[in-house]
């Protein structure tokens, strides 16, 4: 690696300090360091580069922030298969696995070539209105159709690969990737799916019919949802960050994207440890003797 890009959430405490520290540390090792325009502006330097162009100019992007920053990054650089490593400004996250105190040791390992990457599946999302394309987007975590400020449940006519599945009467529906299975989908009762898998999780939100349960679909599936409601206010939200207002009769099509996000995983912990820590699971046996123990 010869060129390293740095992107940072400028709203985070101490992000300027750590950006400068890493910039200088990398420069001392003979690497060229390029800054995203937002953090460059905050530092008062005039050679910042807009995110998409940055991704085409470097061998690796380091992101200071949290999982939300990583989600924005994933959408912004989707056309460039560039590895990304996330350094969390708080505790480590699902996507930003490296803590601040691990920054230098992790970067030493990565620069030495001793690292692993994961290719994370993304989803294409398209809204159609009156048989015309309206909006297209890409997500790493999920696309959520929500009743928003409506006072009643919405009807979501759902087909998979042009075959009728059902009409969900619910507060909404979540279409999630495995990466997003630990986000909103988990809160709505969905399964945890290891992020290396490729599948699509369809999860109704508070369905009127209790037998409507989450469904894991193959990655090849194309899901088409038609919103039916007499009121206005339903929304489609991409990765919890970008929202669009929907109208009755709007069609939303969700399928696997040709784009992927390439994440460098932490050299210090595996996904099981991340789950235990983030979800508060017990790490070690209590020491009690099992009834069948000799």
What share of the chain has pLDDT > 70, as a percent?
A: 95
Residue 67 a catalytic site member: yes
Q: Is the pLDDT of residue 25 over 60?
A: yes
Residue 257's H or E segment, with its range, is strand 251-264
For residue 288, count other CB atoms closer than 10 A to its CB. Answer: 7
pTM: 0.91
Q: Which CATH class is domain 122-258?
A: mainly beta
Question: How much is the mean pLDDT over the chain?
Answer: 93
Band of residue 92 on the pLDDT scale cut at 50, 70, 90: low
Residue 293 confidence (pLDDT) above 70 = no
> Which of 11, 36, 67, 239 does the annotation list as catalytic?
67
Using CA atoms, how far apart are residues 228 and 263, in angstroms rounded to an integer?
A: 38
**What pLDDT band is residue 292 in, cutting at 50, 70 and 90?**
low
Confidence of residue 286 (pLDDT cuts 50, 70, 90): low
Quote the pLDDT of residue 294: 54
CATH of domain 3-116+265-279: 3.40.50.10330
Identify the three-state secondary structure at position 158: strand
Given this model, what pLDDT does residue 124 score?
Answer: 98
Confidence of residue 174 (pLDDT cuts 50, 70, 90): very high
Domain boundary assignment for the chain? 3-116+265-279, 122-258
pLDDT at 239 over 70: yes
């Amino acid at each position: 690696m010869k060129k390293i890009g740095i992107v940072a959430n400028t709203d985070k405490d101490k992000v300027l300090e750590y950006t400068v520290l890493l910039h200088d540390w990398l420069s001392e090792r003979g690497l060229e360091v390029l800054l995203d325009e937002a953090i460059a502006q905050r530092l008062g330097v005039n050679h910042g580069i807009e995110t998409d162009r940055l991704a085409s100019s470097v061998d690796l992007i380091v992101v200071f922030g949290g999982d939300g920053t990583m989600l924005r990054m994933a959408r912004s650089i989707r056309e460039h298969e560039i590895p990304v490593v996330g350094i969390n400004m708080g505790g480590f996250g699902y996507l930003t696995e490296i803590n601040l105190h691990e920054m230098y040791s992790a970067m030493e390992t990565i620069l030495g070539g001793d690292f692993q990457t994961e290719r994370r599946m993304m989803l294409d999302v398209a809204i159609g209105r009156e048989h015309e394309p309206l909006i297209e987007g890409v997500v790493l975590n999920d696309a959520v159709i929500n009743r928003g400020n409506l006072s009643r449940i919405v009807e979501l006519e759902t087909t998979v690969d042009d075959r009728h599945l059902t009409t969900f009467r619910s507060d909404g529906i979540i279409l999630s990737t495995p990466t997003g299975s630990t986000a909103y989908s988990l809160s709505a009762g969905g399964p945890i799916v290891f992020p290396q898998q490729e599948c699509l999780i369809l999860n109704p939100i508070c369905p009127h019919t209790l037998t409507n349960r989450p469904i894991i679909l193959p990655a090849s599936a194309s899901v088409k949802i038609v919103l039916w409601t007499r009121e206005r206010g339903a929304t489609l939200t991409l990765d919890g960050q970008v929202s669009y207002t929907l109208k009755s009769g709007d069609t939303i099509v969700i399928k696997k994207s040709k784009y992927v996000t390439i994440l460098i995983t932490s050299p210090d912990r595996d996904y099981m440890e991340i789950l235990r820590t983030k979800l508060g699971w017990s790490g070690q046996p209590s020491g009690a003797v099992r009834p069948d123990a000799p």
